[in-house]
Amino acid sequence: MLVLITYDVNTEDAKGKGRLRRVAKKCVSYGQRVQNSVFECIVDAGQCKLLKEQLLKIVDLEKDSLRFYYLGNQYKNKIEHYGAKGTIDQEGVLIL
């Protein structure tokens, strides 16, 4: 399934900047960045649960926010993209 993850991390102090880097690094390991604080992650239910738990351990819920949008398995019909920075089809063929 495709899960869209968005986040807003308060970076007013050094701890916030560290949380921001850790959240981004964790999301990169599961998907692709499509905007500064937006990731598309193709995961199964177990991976999704694990990722959510890991992210919730990183953020400070008093200062930061996380949003998960569950687009399911038929996500290709739900996404339109216009403009620069095209994305890679994560389930497509990869030729090296």
pLDDT tens-digit series, residues 59-83 = 999 999 999 999 877 666 676 656 7
CB 41 within 8 A of CB 67: no
Amino acid identity of residue 27, one-letter, is C
The separation between CA 73 and the C-alpha centre of its own chain, rounded to angstroms, equals 16
pTM: 0.78
* pLDDT above 80 (res 31): yes
**Residue 73: its pLDDT value, please?**
74
Where residue 38 falls among pLDDT bands split at 50, 70, 90? very high
Cα separation, 18 vs 10, in Å, equals 10
